[in-house]
A and B are shown apart, each in its own frame.
Chain A
Amino acid sequence: MPLPRVLSLARGQSMLRTRLAPATRQSWAARGIATHATELKRTALYDFHVENKAKMVPFAGYSMPLAYGDVGQVSTEKTATAFLEWLTPSSLSALEPYSSTLSVLLNERGGIIDDTIITKHAEDAFYVVTNAGRRDRDLSWFKEKLDEWNTSDQSSAGKVEHEILDSWGLLALQGPEAAAYLQGLTSFDLSELTFGKSAFVPIEGINLHVARGGYTGEDGFEISIPPAYTVRVAKLLSKPPVQLTGLGARDSLRLEAGMCLYGEDLDEDTTPVEGALSWVIGKDRREKADFIGAEGVLKHLKDGPPRRRVGLIVEGAPARHGAKILAPSTSDVIGHVTSGIPSPTLGKNIAMGYVQNGWHKKGTEVAVEVRGKARPALLTPMPFIKPRYWRG
Chain B
Amino acid sequence: MRRHPLAFAQARTIVTKRYTDDHEAVSFDDQTKIGTVMITDYAQKSLGDVVFVELPSEGAVVEKGDVIGAVESVKAASDIYSPVTGTVIAINSELDGSPSLLNKSPEDKGWLCKIEVKDPAEVEVLMTQEEYKAHCES
Binding between chains A and B = yes
Residue A17, interface by CB 8 Å: no
Residue B2, interface by CB 8 Å: no
Residue A252, interface by CB 8 Å: yes
Q: In B64-117, which residues have CB < 8 Å from any A CB?
A: 67, 70, 72-79
Contacting residues, chain B, for A316 (C-beta < 8 A): 52, 54
* Given known A-B contacts A317-B54, A320-B77, A342-B52, A31 and B72 have beta carbons under 8 A apart: no
- The one of A25, A32, A248, A344 in contact with B78, judged by C-beta atoms closer than 8 angstroms, is A32
Which stretch (B7-15, B43-51, B118-126) binds chain A? Answer: B43-51
State how many angstroms separate the Cβ of B52 from the closest Cβ of chain A.
Answer: 6
- Say yes or no: A30 contacts B47, CB within 8 Å: yes
- Say yes or no: B74 contacts A31, CB within 8 Å: no
Contacting residues, chain A, for B67 (C-beta < 8 A): 371
Q: Mark A235-258, 1 if CB is under 8 A from B, else 0.
A: 000000000000010011000000
Residue A28, interface by CB 8 Å: yes
- Say yes or no: A23 contacts B49, CB within 8 Å: yes
- The one of A23, A341, A349, A371 in contact with B75, judged by C-beta atoms closer than 8 angstroms, is A341
For A318, give the chain B residue with the smallest CB separation. Answer: B72
- Say yes or no: B70 contacts A31, CB within 8 Å: no
Interface residue count for B (Cβ, 8 Å)?
Answer: 19
State how many angstroms separate the Cβ of A257 from the closest Cβ of chain B.
Answer: 15
* Given known A-B contacts A317-B70, A371-B70, A28 and B75 have beta carbons under 8 A apart: yes
* Given known A-B contacts A23-B49, A317-B52, A342 and B72 have beta carbons under 8 A apart: yes
Q: In B30-54, which residues have CB < 8 Å from any A CB?
A: 43, 46-49, 51-52, 54
For A33, give the chain B residue with the smallest CB separation. Answer: B76
State how many angstroms separate the Cβ of A239 from the closest Cβ of chain B.
Answer: 26
For B69, give the chain A residue with the smallest CB separation. Answer: A371
For B72, give the chain A residue with the smallest CB separation. Answer: A318
Contacting residues, chain B, for A251 (C-beta < 8 A): 75
Contacting residues, chain A, for B23 (C-beta < 8 A): 31
- Say yes or no: A31 contacts B76, CB within 8 Å: yes
* Given known A-B contacts A252-B74, A371-B54, A371-B70, A29 and B46 have beta carbons under 8 A apart: yes
Residue A27, interface by CB 8 Å: yes
Q: How far is the CA of A258 from the CA of B75 in the complex (A)?
A: 17
Q: In A21-46, which residues have CB < 8 Å from any B CB?
A: 23-25, 27-33
Contacting residues, chain B, for A317 (C-beta < 8 A): 52, 54, 70, 72, 77
Q: How far is the CA of A28 from the CA of B73 in the complex (A)?
A: 9
- Say yes or no: A24 contacts B49, CB within 8 Å: yes
Q: 23 A-B Cβ contacts within 8 A?
A: A24-B49, A24-B51, A24-B74, A27-B48, A27-B75, A29-B73, A29-B75, A30-B46, A30-B48, A31-B43, A33-B76, A248-B48, A248-B75, A252-B74, A316-B52, A318-B72, A318-B77, A320-B77, A341-B74, A342-B72, A371-B54, A371-B67, A371-B70
The 9 tightest CB contacts between A and B, nearest first, are: A27-B48, A29-B76, A30-B46, A29-B75, A342-B51, A27-B49, A24-B49, A31-B78, A248-B75
For the complex with contacts A23-B49, A28-B75, A318-B52, 8 further pairs of A-B residues with Cβ separation under 8 Å are A27-B47, A27-B48, A29-B47, A31-B43, A31-B47, A32-B78, A252-B74, A371-B54
Interface residues of B (CB under 8 A from A): 23, 43, 46-49, 51-52, 54, 67, 70, 72-79
Interface residues of A (CB under 8 A from B): 23-25, 27-33, 248, 251-252, 316-318, 320, 341-342, 344, 349, 371
